[in-house]
Amino acid sequence: MKKTVTTLADGRELIYYDTRDDVVRTAVDTRPLDPVTSATELRYDALLGDSVAVASHRQGRTYHPPVGECPLCPSGDGRQSEIPAPDYEVVVFENRFPTLAGESGRCEVVCFTADHEASFADLTPERAALVLDAWTDRTTELAARPGVEQVYCFENRGAEIGVTLAHPHGQIYAYPFATPRTALMQRQAAEHRARTGGNLFDDVVARERADAERIVLETGHWIAFVPYAAHWPYEVHLYPTRRVPDLRALDEEARTEFPQIYLELLRRFDRIFGPGEPPTPYISAWHQAPFTGADREEFALHLELFTVRRTSGRLKYLAGTESGMSAFSNDVPPETAARRLREVAGK
């Protein structure tokens, strides 16, 4: 992997990731951009014990631009985008409209390909491996920044999810705190350790492997399953078979095997609802351990992939009990979801 770091016209950092060492990136961003001004404020919720980012500047962010004005496509034909180069493999840059900025953290955009019409599932294994390298590199770089406690790499795909830019891309958030979901997992893991003496994540994976009914896919170094208490209609959790706290700790065997299993999972998601259906909207989320705390080695890196589509043409909307009380219900039994994801293998 070759990494080339440059800056955009307003001072934001942009990083090219290339598979070949002989690639030279010299394009310059000449847009007349004003410096980015972010007004993010973290407000603590005393009732729930979490924080809310108030970021009013995001009201002006780009919203469903025409294809010819996509800010994530390469620059060319007299039009300049967020990426100055006329082509690229993988690019990461600071978000122009960040939820978190300055002492409140950092937000980055990850472009997986220059092809506006593609999706992650269309990538070659080599390109998917390069994205994994970029995620890992950004986790390493952001972990070294003062005040960063956790790094979250994720992709939102589809208008139903709320995506405002159709170009295949994801995001990376560097939080100044451990997120509420992670903190809850850590509390559960600590209670499990105290009660049983075992590791919660290891025991969950062992239970799914022993049951086998919800296993979707397993290789030498990864296992994918629908969780026993899935919150979403179709939800898959992907774990490396050797527990590690974050992307930086993956061994070469797991890194080599990841593109094949992940691309297969994404392609199966697009087949769930049958031929002729539009691409399945999804959220794909890496869960990594916070960088401090004596229990970080107890945490297990894993990816959670889920869709809000519950059947053909119908979405799962959060009901009052779910939005108001975080008490979920699921119309699709996890065993049924796992069976369907096995049925659509390789079709």
Active site residues: 169
3-state secondary structure of 104: helix
- Phi and psi at 247, nearest 5°, equal -60, -30
> What are 57's two structure tokens?
């500047």
Distance CA 223, CA 1 (A): 26
Question: In whole angstroms, how large is the CA radius of gyration of the chain?
Answer: 20
What DSSP string describes 283-340? EEEEE---SSSTTGGG---EEEEEESEEETTEE----HHHHHH-----SS-HHHHHHH
Contact indicator for 109, 97 with CB cutoff of 8 Å: no
Distance CA 297, CA 283 (A): 26
Cβ count within 10 A of residue 188:
13
CA-based nearest residue to 133, from 23, 43, 42, 3: 3
- Phi and psi at 56, nearest 5°, equal -65, -25
Q: Give the containing element (helix H, strand E) for 194.
A: helix 180-196
Residue with structure tokens 């086998």? Answer: 212
Contact indicator for 269, 292 with CB cutoff of 8 Å: no
3-state secondary structure of 35: coil
Q: Give the containing element (helix H, strand E) for 157.
A: strand 150-157
